[in-house]
Chains A and B, each alone.
Chain A
């Protein structure tokens, strides 16, 4: 890491206001590039599954530090997209359980769960005008879905294949297809009403 030019370079870097890191290694650059590609998608998935924004941000940081270590140890590079979702999912389940426990202990947490923010977020005035009843209906249907079905939908919306979803949520391919089919059928029925 600290090659021969690193030390003379150090003074220059410290004096520059931007200099918060040594020259990034190719691995670091790779992880940061992946982070840029994936962070919004991971965060949306976490928010949609009930994690508050702050926790979501922390989880995403943890995921990419874990990815850095994973790659540094020379572990498998196969399907890193599914890998990061899987780690984020596992961390969020752990965190979510902890939050739920806290919620039972604390009456006032001062923060609504993100589930509610997915569903009940006040739209801005323009949205409100455009906000059609069908969107509200869809939100209600989504809220009423079993947790596993909501997770499948969110992961699919983030572009994961059925196989990847199955890996993240530990489900069979067939179960993923059934879950998605069932949810979409419910949306369709709600539209017809």
Chain B
């Protein structure tokens, strides 16, 4: 049996460092460590190994972690959906079909449907099995309200700059983070100006959104056509610049329908 006078084994030193010794033995070990340089140095070495491991472990893995907000939002949506499903299942089971209950049930179903839509139109989260990319056809107004720079109509119409500037990679990353897009998914999106610089749009995160490359109907090509149309209208003096900016930023699809007088994108 070890006593307070006998040296501690490496195993015991590790247990002591981790606070895992039985209480009686812990007291003996502590009093031995107070007296014994050899054991104290050895314990320090073990702690050094632990420190090195933890630094390497964290240093390698932390940069791989995705931003937490996106995953939290997805979890909340899934829990809400699960709760709503259970509530409606319970209600069905009880078969209490008073008019109020019916109304509530319809409300719950509507909510689940809307939630599904919201989750669907918000960028999805990467899933390896069936990695699917959700088409984003319009920006989230709270994240991308649209921002114009202080540029006059004359400056815009004189400018020969390329229509769309390239968005810096750092800013693109922030846009993806904001929309909760992570992992391999960014490749499926193009960070686009809501108000194009050719219409005075600013290089501001509030003016950028991830437009999905896979949207079948209301895609980037259609929006480009609208941008050209508005630029021409503004420069021909047929449309006020502020109106063009407001229309494209509030609902670009509605603006397309309005300025092309059509309900479908033109071929």
Binding site for B on A (CB under 8 A): 1-2, 6-7, 10, 14, 17-18, 20-22, 24-25, 28, 31-32, 35-36, 39-40, 43-44, 47-48, 52-55, 57-58, 60-61, 64-65, 68-69, 114, 117-119, 121, 127, 134-135, 138-139, 142, 153-154, 156-157, 161-162, 177-178, 180-181, 184-185, 187-188, 191
Binding site for A on B (CB under 8 A): 10-11, 14-15, 18, 20, 45-46, 49-50, 52-66, 68, 71-80, 82-84, 86-87, 103-104, 107-108, 110-111, 114-115, 118-119, 125-129, 131, 140-142, 182-184
Do A54 and B128 touch (CB < 8 A)?
Answer: yes
A40 to B61, CA, bound (A): 10
Q: Give the distance to chain B from A131, nearest Cβ to Cβ, in Å.
A: 9
Do B72 and A35 touch (CB < 8 A)?
Answer: yes
Do A22 and B10 touch (CB < 8 A)?
Answer: no
**Can you give 17 contacting A-B residue pairs, CB < 8 Å?**
A10-B111, A17-B141, A20-B73, A20-B80, A32-B79, A35-B75, A39-B68, A44-B58, A52-B128, A57-B66, A57-B71, A57-B125, A57-B183, A65-B82, A121-B63, A181-B14, A185-B10
A191 to B53, CA, bound (A): 11
Q: Give the distance to chain A from B251, nearest Cβ to Cβ, in Å.
A: 13
Do A161 and B61 touch (CB < 8 A)?
Answer: no
What residue of chain A has the Cβ atom nearest to residue B62's Cβ? A44
A135 contacts across to B, CB distance below 8 A? 52, 55-56, 59
Do B75 and A61 touch (CB < 8 A)?
Answer: yes
Given the interface pairs A2-B104, A43-B65, A121-B60, the reply to whether A65 lies near B75 with Cβ below 8 Å is yes
Do B76 and A53 touch (CB < 8 A)?
Answer: no
A157 to B103, CA, bound (A): 52
Do A25 and B83 touch (CB < 8 A)?
Answer: yes
Do A161 and B20 touch (CB < 8 A)?
Answer: yes
A6 contacts across to B, CB distance below 8 A? 104, 107
Do B65 and A40 touch (CB < 8 A)?
Answer: yes
B50 contacts across to A, CB distance below 8 A? 184
Do B49 and A188 touch (CB < 8 A)?
Answer: yes
Do A21 and B80 touch (CB < 8 A)?
Answer: yes
Complex partner residue of B103 from A7, A48, A153, CB under 8 angstroms:
A7
What residue of chain A has the Cβ atom nearest to residue B118's Cβ? A20
Do B68 and A184 touch (CB < 8 A)?
Answer: no
What residue of chain B has the Cβ atom nearest to residue A47's Cβ? B61
Do B127 and A36 touch (CB < 8 A)?
Answer: no
A154 contacts across to B, CB distance below 8 A? 57
Do A44 and B61 touch (CB < 8 A)?
Answer: yes
Complex partner residue of B184 from A2, A54, A156, A187, CB under 8 angstroms:
A54
